[in-house]
């Protein structure tokens, strides 16, 4: 998905929010803000939004001399999600439709996104969980169920720390021993890295692969050769969250996207209401989107 005009003011607001999140030093915050404005003024709008965000968050890490400004937030998210995990697992196991329940809870976890909401609270997570089972789910669950049952190699592209614990619920419903989880190659915002996959215990139920990139999405050209190879060979790719949608919505293979459509631009691109829980295939989306 290309960047739209409405993405630009949002980039600038996100840059300021993230700079404030990373440092109380107003001189550094101002430097980040001006860097984002320069980058926005020069930006090629054919780029995906995560390509722009990658540059902004590199600048934040450089100017604050912090490799991972969201480390504490990620640990906090993992702790909250792990505290919920036993309860949620019971919900899935006791459900008449365990795969659907796991899909819904995995999407509920997508609320843990400090790029969109730097003031995320435990109450937000709680609310997302409690709404997840009753809200409408956009997309074809039957098709997804069929796709999951016939696979040999699943690549599950994770999105954020904390959220990755919710992903575990769904991964446990997929054919055992067939799943590889893709995580970011290095820290960006609160996106899940290898450390978060381990914190979620995913190494116990799946292989884990780093994608070699620090973009908050999956910019294939920026990913490592082994990751790209895994992406091409997988017979089922499941991609979580807005960043993965923005970077893979036009890719030349089938991908199942699972996300909350938190921003109006993405909701319009998908053709759903803002805030909707979405499960859909890439080739359908390419036909529907603008």
Chain positions 22 to 51 lying near its own copies, rule: CB under 8 A, are 26, 29-30, 33-34, 37-38, 40-41, 45
Beta-strand (E) ranges in the chain? 137-138, 154-157, 179-183, 207-210, 236-240, 256-260, 277-281
Q: Is 84 helix (H, G, I), strand (E, B) or coil?
A: helix
| Residue 35 or 196 having the CB closest to its own copies | 35
- Out of 9, 93, 229, 235, name the contact with its own copies by CB under 8 A: 9
Q: Are 133 and 104 in contact (CB under 8 A)?
A: yes
Cβ atoms within 10 A of the Cβ of 144, count?
A: 20
- Out of 1, 2, 3, 12, name the contact with its own copies by CB under 8 A: 12
Q: Are 213 and 138 in contact (CB under 8 A)?
A: no
How many residues in the shown chain lie near its own copies by CB under 8 A? Answer: 18
> Taking the complex as a whole, how short is the minimal distance between the CB of residue 194 and its own copies, in angstroms?
33
Q: Are 107 and 280 in contact (CB under 8 A)?
A: no
Should residue 18 be labelled a site residue for its own copies when binding is judged by CB under 8 A? no
Phi, psi at residue 154, to the nearest 5°?
Answer: -105, 130
- Out of 1, 3, 5, 22, name the contact with its own copies by CB under 8 A: 5
Q: Mark 263-282 with x for binding to its own copies (rule: CB under 8 A) and - for no binding.
A: --------------------
Should residue 93 be labelled a site residue for its own copies when binding is judged by CB under 8 A? no
Should residue 6 be labelled a site residue for its own copies when binding is judged by CB under 8 A? yes
Structure tokens at 279: 């499960």
Structure tokens at 97: 């439709």
Phi, psi at residue 208, to the nearest 5°?
Answer: -125, 135
Return the closest-CA partner of residue 116 out of 79, 80, 160. Answer: 160
Should residue 83 be labelled a site residue for its own copies when binding is judged by CB under 8 A? no
Beta-strand (E) ranges in 68-197? 137-138, 154-157, 179-183
- Out of 8, 188, 223, 237, name the contact with its own copies by CB under 8 A: 8
Should residue 59 be labelled a site residue for its own copies when binding is judged by CB under 8 A? no
> Taking the complex as a whole, how short is the minimal distance between the CB of residue 37 and its own copies, in angstroms?
4
Give the interface with its own copies as residue ranges (CB under 8 A).
Answer: 5-6, 8-10, 12-13, 16, 26, 29-30, 33-34, 37-38, 40-41, 45
């Amino acid at each position: 998905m290309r960047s739209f005009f409405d993405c630009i003011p949002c980039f600038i607001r996100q840059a300021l929010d993230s700079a404030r999140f990373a440092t109380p030093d107003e001189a550094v915050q101002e430097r980040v803000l001006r860097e984002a404005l320069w980058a926005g003024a020069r930006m090629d709008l054919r780029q995906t939004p995560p390509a722009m965000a990658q540059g902004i968050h590199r600048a934040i890490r450089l100017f604050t001399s912090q490799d991972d400004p969201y480390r504490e937030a990620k640990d906090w998210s993992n702790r909250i999600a792990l505290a919920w995990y036993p309860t949620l697992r019971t919900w899935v196991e006791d459900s008449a439709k365990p795969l659907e329940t796991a899909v819904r809870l995995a999407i509920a976890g997508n609320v843990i996104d400090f790029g969109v909401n730097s003031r995320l609270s435990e109450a937000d997570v709680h609310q997302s969980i409690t709404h997840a089972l009753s809200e409408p789910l956009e997309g074809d669950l039957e098709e997804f169920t069929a796709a999951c049952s016939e696979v040999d190699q699943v690549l599950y592209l994770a999105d954020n720390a904390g959220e990755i614990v919710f992903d575990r619920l769904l991964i446990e419903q997929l054919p055992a021993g067939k799943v590889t989880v893709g995580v970011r190659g290095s820290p960006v915002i609160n996106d899940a890295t290898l450390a978060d996959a381990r914190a979620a215990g995913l190494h116990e139920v799946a292989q884990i692969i780093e994608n070699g990139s620090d973009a908050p999405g999956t910019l294939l050209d920026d990913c490592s050769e082994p990751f790209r190879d895994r992406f091409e060979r997988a017979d089922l790719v499941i991609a979580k969250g807005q960043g993965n949608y923005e970077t893979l919505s036009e890719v030349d293979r089938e991908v199942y996207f699972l996300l909350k459509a938190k921003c109006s631009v993405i909701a319009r691109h998908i053709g759903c209401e803002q805030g909707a829980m979405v499960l859909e295939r890439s080739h359908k989306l390419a036909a529907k989107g603008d």
